[in-house]
Structure 1
Amino acid sequence: MPDRVYSQEEFSLFNPAYTGFLLLTMVREHVRESQTGMHCALPFLLVPMALNPTISNRLPSNKRSSLLAWISTNQGELIEFPELAQSFQPFVIHAIAFLMEKSLINLNDEGDFQLGTSTVPQTPSLFSKNESMNNTLRRARFLGRWFAHAPPVETLYAHLGVRP
């Protein structure tokens, strides 16, 4: 990963608590929908999708929509997704570390994220007070449910042009 200097504003905007809460929401919805854990590589796709308005505003409204068909239909908007995913990597790593440190998620022997022993409210009041944060939380919930029905993670990475 190339060295990139992040501004204080970027670190503040994508702090581990905020990004982590969105990730926790995705894991919670994924587990609820699939009855299995979330593959450990999915957060590196899902977090950038949830936090990028150009992508998240184009998400389908139905979890039964084909993910691969959506990727094909939205190739123009996803052309720079590999770079976007790479730029979010440090934020995702910090979010995962934050959630694991707080026992909100854990990694099982199969490499899947599961819900941990600690809990937090599903919709903190802060999210209800801010329309942008509430929309991002709604998208995070959808992504967690939608990717519970997705093809294998290797297929997703290949179709999105992301290299692990």
Structure 2
Amino acid sequence: MPRHSRDAPREEYLLYNPAFLSLLLRRSSEGFERERTTVGMSTLLAYVAVSMSLRIDMRSALTMTVASKLGTWTNDNAKVVTLIAPTCTALLPYLNNALMFGLNHRIFTLHHGRLHPTDQGPKKTISGVTSEVQDCQKAALYLGRWFALSGSESTVSALLGVRP
């Protein structure tokens, strides 16, 4: 389990805690299921969505409209795209921890490698103590929707430069 030094910045500690990352995993899976109701979101795409939603440079590059074409966005934001895979790799231990936290607290379920939000999770209304917490949740929800509309898992992950 990853540990945070007491010397780590408070914001970093709060962003990477399992409860918050579980919430973002749930938000991304909610967005995905809003568009593709029966499939569930792959853990790979959920991890990518959360990783992107945590970085302000990635959030600010998002169009926040699901009508945008992912291929066009990746071409227009090549510098941001090069940061996605290393960010996912760096966050992997935290995301694995968050996945277990979310499953243990029934925030979502996992069936055949796909996340499904449960009825027991947080309110659908996005709220948070800071605007950054709210922005991360909005981005995770949006990315879940966008990925669901952008093609297969292999297409989306290839466009974003990530591999399982």
TM-score (norm 1): 0.85
Which residue of the partner structure matches residue 75 of structure 1? 78
Task: Note the 1:2-151 alignment, pairs <5 A.
Answer: 7-8=5-6, 9=8, 10-36=12-38, 37-109=40-112, 111-123=113-125, 127=128, 129-151=129-151
Tell whether the 8 Å contact from 1:43 to 1:92 is kept in structure 2 after alignment. Answer: no
Which structure 2 residue ranges, 5 or more long, are not aligned? none
Once the 2 structures are TM-superposed, how far is the Cα of residue 117 of structure 1 from its aligned partner? 4.8
Query: Normalising to structure 2: TM-score of the pair?
Result: 0.85
| 2-structure distance, mates of 1:60, 1:7 | 35
Distance (Å, rounded) in 2 between the aligned partners of 1:134 and 1:92: 19
Secondary structure at the counterpart of residue 62 of structure 1: coil
Residue number in structure 1 paired with 2:160: 160
Q: Secondary structure at the residue paired with 1:57?
A: helix
In the alignment, the residues of structure 2 paired with residue 66 and residue 43 of structure 1 have an alpha-carbon distance, to the nearest angstrom, of: 19
Q: Is the 8 A contact 1:107 1:113 kept in 2?
A: yes
The question of whether the paired residues in 2 share the 8 Å contact of 1:104 and 1:119 is answered with yes
Residue correspondences, number: 158
* Equivalent-residue separation in structure 2 for 1:65 and 1:144 (angstroms): 13
Q: What letter matches 1:33 in structure 2? A: E
Root mean square deviation of aligned Cα = 2.1
How far 1:147 sits from its partner (Å)? 1.2
**Structure 1 runs not aligned, ≥5 long:** none
Q: CA deviation at 1:66?
A: 0.7
